[in-house]
Amino acid sequence: MPKFGPTIKSLLTNKDKLFELARTPLNEHFLAVLLKKLPEKLGDPDKFLIPCDFPGMDECFALANLGASINLMPLSVWSKLSLPELSPTCMTLELADRSISCPVGVAEDFFVKVGTFHFPADFVVVYFDADP
C-alpha cells in the first residue's frame, strides 16, 4: 500500500472534513484567476522619485529610471552634499527626448532610506537643471 493510502482513506471516510477543507476563502487575485478575469490595470505614475535623507538638506529627491535600473542625480544636488569624489565613467545616456548626455561620474554604494529600510544604490550624476 502506498504511503499516502491512509491519508486518502481517512479523507474518504470523513467526508465532512473533506467538504470543510474544500471551502477556502479566496482573495481578489485568485478569484480573478479562477474566473479568467484580468485584474484592474493601474495607471502610469509618470516619474519615480527616491526621497534621500541627508543632514543639512531640507528635501532631496533623485530620479529613478525603472526600465534600465539607473538612478540619476543632478550635479547641483551632488555638489550641495559635499561628499567624496565621484567614480569616473565612460557611459553615455540617451534621454527620452533623444538627446545624448555624458554623466559627470558615478556615486557608488549610497544608502537610500525608504520608509524604515536602507538600501544600497548607485547614482549616475548628470549635469542638468533640477526641477524647481
Residue 19: its pLDDT value, please? 64
Q: What cell numbers appear for 129 in the block?
A: 537643471
Per-residue pLDDT reduced to its tens digit, 44-81? 656 666 676 666 666 777 666 555 567 888 888 888 88
pTM of the model: 0.47
The beta strand positions in 16-91, using DSSP E, are 48-52, 60-65, 70-74
The one-letter code for the residue type at 45 is P
Q: What is the mean pLDDT of residues 118-128?
A: 84
d(CA 92, CA 120): 23
